[in-house]
Amino acid sequence: MCGIVGYIGSRPALPILMGGLHRLEYRGYDSAGVAFFQEGRIDVVKRKGRLSNLEGALRGQFGDDLSSGGIRLGIAHTRWATHGAPSDENSHPHLSASGRIAVVHNGIIENYLEIKRSLTTLGYRFVSETDTEVVAHLIEHHFTTDACRDLLSAVLRTLGEIEGSYALGVLCADDPDSFIAARKDSPLVVGLGDHGNFIASDIPAILEHTREVLILEDKEVAVLRADGVRVMDTLGRPVDRRPMHVDWDIESAEKGGYEHFMMKEIHEEPRAVRDTVAPRIHGGGIRLDDISLTAEDVARIQRIQIIACGTANHAGHVARHAIESLCRIPVDVDVASEFRYRDPIVDGRTLAIVISQSGETLDTMAAMREAKRRGARTFAIVNVVGSSIAREADDVLYTMAGPEIAVASTKAYNTQLAAVYLLTFRLAVLLGRMTEAECAIWTGKLLALPESLERILSDREVLQRFAYEHFNARSVFFIGRGLDFALSMEGSLKLKEISYIHSEAYAGGELKHGTIALIEEGTLVVCPLTQTSLLDKMIGNIREVKARGAVVLGIACDSAPKVDDVCDTVFRIPDVDPLLAPLLAVTPMQLFAYYVAVNKGCDVDKPRNLAKSVTVE
Ligand code: M6R
């Protein structure tokens, strides 16, 4: 999500670090900083906002020539806020209490609150709201009080205590000839150069200096010196890693080697869903630390109003099913631009749930204000930390999708659903409609989803082939029942916005009330078939469209019976509880839309007439 660059060698470090940060800026960041070794101490310069703010601060210190300071070692970071709003204090690098250890970090330290509490009782003072700061203090604690012989032992000991995901760069004023990097569930590469060595969260950051990289695997640690790199596991045992030669150009490196950001972002879904759910699940229960809703507040809620646009609105339709079935509270879902003007019935006993990736969509924001004006309590599910909607809502549950660059929303939707499920289970427990034991069963199912997404991604060739055979379709129908209908809306939107093929989503049972007149020889129909209790009914609907010549792509769970007999092609997804199925079954639809658009030669990442963030009415 965030970006990391580090360098040690014979060349001036600051221009290399700033050049690397510039290469990462295309992802859109909210603050940046560097820590560098100079005259026996570590200096940190960090600034909220665009990289130019940091650059200005460095120029204030060094003048226009950043190579003038004689600095040969440093680590740098661009931040996409997760814990704590974008601010100078929350920017990385973070320093330990003595200022002798600096840390940059990507990922989420899941047990940071526990560590923070115990370090606070030992007298450590925290200056930021981030999870990362605990790492700096913990390393120093081990380095100074636990008789760790050196920085490396202190880092290894710290890695044994932190839980969650991390790509880390660690600098210590007492060891100016090296720095340390480590990774778990967050990408980090080591670059091997002629004049020194590098770390980077993304290859483009160092590509102009070297094409020889070591890709660190999970739970690996690297000690970098100007003249060499040692790689080991977190127990300090040497690991033999061969460098890989990268021959991508910068543009494809930014896309992680994928042809488009959309494909890169679809491949990030397992990580994004894991980051959204795992840190919030503890011993089977759900902990939403920043949410102030109490059992009394929840008991007062008489109805829920969901407000969102586009993909986020489709996530809202899934939310309605989930909340109504597990919490038994009536839920309405509106597109934000309609909600504002329909004199909605909203009062002090309404919870307005607002969903938005960007947190800046004007219609959604205005509708949220309208709900608030009428007395509703507002709860936002948002991806961008510190965005306008996040700031104005009474409570915010952040999705951890990371920056989404492609205009077509993909990983944001999966993570919005992940957040919706967390909220639903929590509400159900607070309402006394779900026991903690039942909640643990649900959270166990949630935690299994990232692995299922991995399998879907690895089976994508089936969709690529199907898309190749049908990309000339003039019109595509998505039909489903129950949650599969909610999901069909998203599948249909994805296809139309990037491939420009006319598409509609229909409830399976509604076809015969008019739309079936449009089905003719060769019409393409996509059918999610994940709702076990409605499967026979859907099979009936498929027979109806097949009888009129439709070609049918089914998306069904591994153990779904009979579907091969009625569909032309079936894409199988791992078995999953029907309530959670949209989070998995959307991914084949995103992939299908992607392959169709690529075959048609469309500009996948920047479809015509659309903008990523719609800040006009
Ligand atoms: O940033 P938001 O989630 O509020 O954006 C809402 C819609 O504009 C957005 O989902 C749009 O529909 C996407 N292009 C869909 O891929």
For the chain, give every domain's residue range.
3-250, 263-447, 455-600
Which H/E stretch holds residue 140? helix 133-145
The predicted model gives 607-612 an average pLDDT of: 83
Pocket probe for ligand 1: among 358, 407, 498, 604, the residue whose CB has the most ligand atoms within 8 Å is 358
The reply to whether ligand 1 has any atom less than 6 angstroms from the CB of 313 is no
d(CA 119, CA 112): 10
**CB neighbour class for 51 (10 Å; exposed up to 12, middle 13-18, buried from 19):** middle
DSSP state of 238: B
- Does residue 615 have a pLDDT over 80? no
Ligand 1 binding pocket includes 307 (Cβ within 6 Å): no
**Residue among 311, 317, 493, 590 whose CB has most ligand 1 atoms within 8 A, to mutate:** 311
What span, in angstroms and rounded, lies between the C-alpha atoms of 306 and 300?
A: 17
Residue 168 pLDDT exceeds 90: yes
Residue ranges of E strands in 237-330: 244-245, 281-282, 285-286, 303-308
How remote is the CA of residue 598 from the centroid of ligand 1, in Å? Answer: 21
Question: Strands (DSSP E) along 93-154, which ranges?
Answer: 94-95, 101-106
Cα(192)–Cα(210) distance, integer angstroms: 6
Atom of ligand 1 nearest to the CA of 389: 4
| Furthest-apart CA atoms within the chain: distance in Å | 80
Rounded Cα distance between 383 and 404, Å, is 9
Answer whether 614 contacts ligand 1 (Cβ < 6 A). yes
- State which H helix or E strand residue 571 sits in: strand 569-573
Tell me how far apart the alpha carbons of residues 416 and 418 are, in angstroms, rounded to a whole number: 5
State the burial class of residue 309 (Cβ atoms within 10 Å of its Cβ: 0-12, 13-18, 19+): buried
8 A C-beta contact, residue 590 and residue 494? yes
Residue 459 has a pLDDT of 97
In this prediction, residue 1 carries a pLDDT of 60
Active site residues: 2, 612
Question: What's the token pair of residue 504?
Answer: 């509609």
Q: Is the pLDDT of residue 20 over 90?
A: yes
Cis, bond preceding 607 (omega within 30 deg of 0): no
Instruction: Inform me whether the pLDDT recorded for 566 exceeds 80.
Output: yes
Q: What is the pLDDT of residues 417-453, one digit of tens each?
A: 999 999 999 999 999 999 999 999 999 999 999 999 9
Q: Pairing state of beta strands 73-79 and 3-9?
A: antiparallel
Q: How far apart are CA 426 and CA 293, in angstroms?
A: 10
H helix runs in 301-435, sequence order: 310-327, 336-339, 362-373, 388-392, 411-430
Give the span between the Cα atoms of 292 and 339, in whole angstroms: 26
Architecture of domain 263-447: 3-Layer(aba) Sandwich (3.40)
Q: Count of alpha carbons within 13 Å of 36, Cβ hemisphere only?
A: 28
The helix-helix angle for 151-161 and 133-145 (nearest 10°) equals: 130
CA of residue 543 to ligand 1 center, whole Å: 34
Fold (topology level) of 455-600: Rossmann fold (3.40.50)
Question: The pTM is what?
Answer: 0.80
DSSP state of 164: B
Q: What number of CA atoms fall less than 13 Å from residue 356's CA on the CB side?
A: 36
Closest CA to 539 of 550, 524, 554: 554
Average pLDDT, the chain: 93
- Give the three-class secondary structure for 432: coil
Residue 318: the pLDDT is: 98
What would the two tokens of residue 488 be? 């069909």
Whether residue 26 has pLDDT greater than 80: no
Between CA 617 and CA 610 the distance in angstroms is 14
Mean local confidence (pLDDT), 548-559: 97
Over the stretch 224-266, which tens digit does the pLDDT of each residue have?
A: 999 999 999 999 999 998 898 887 777 777 788 899 999 999 9
Per-residue burial over 407-437, b if 16 or more Cβ lie within 10 Å, else e, is bbbbbbbbbbbbbbbbbbbbbbbbbeebeee
Check pocket membership of 499 for ligand 1, CB cut-off 6 A: no
The pLDDT assigned to 147 comes to 66
pLDDT > 90? residue 88: no
Q: Which residue has the tokens 């880390």?
A: 168
Task: Please tell me if the CB atom of residue 531 comes closer than 6 angstroms to any atom of ligand 1.
Answer: no
> Could you tell me the strand order of the sheet in which 228-233 lies?
94-95, 101-106, 166-172, 178-184, 220-225, 228-233
**Residue that wins the pLDDT comparison between 50 and 436:** 436
Residue whose Cα lies nearest atom 9 of ligand 1: it is 310
Q: b/e per residue, 6-42, with b = 16+ CB within 10 A?
A: bbbbebbbbebbbbbbbbbebbebbbbbbbbbbeeeb
CA nearest to 604, candidates 590, 612, 594, 591 = 594
Which amino acid belongs to residue 515? Answer: T
CATH number, span 3-250: 3.60.20.10
pLDDT band at residue 617 under the 50/70/90 scheme: low
- With a 6 Å cutoff on the Cβ, whether 312 touches ligand 1 is yes
Q: Is the pLDDT of residue 522 over 90?
A: yes
338: helix, strand or coil: helix
Q: Do domains 3-250 and 455-600 have the same CATH topology?
A: no
pLDDT tens digit sequence for 265-323: 999 999 999 999 999 999 999 999 878 999 999 999 999 999 999 999 999 999 999 99
- B/e letters for 527-557, b = 16+ CB within 10 Å, e = fewer, are bbbbbeebbeebbebbebbbeeebbbbbbbb
Closest C-alpha to ligand 1, atom 7: 310
Dist. CA 344–CA 459, nearest whole Å: 45
Spacing, Cα 308 to ligand 1 middle (Å): 9
Strands (E), 185-243: 189-192, 196-200, 212-215, 220-225, 228-233
Say yes or no: CB of residue 200 within 6 Å of ligand 1: no
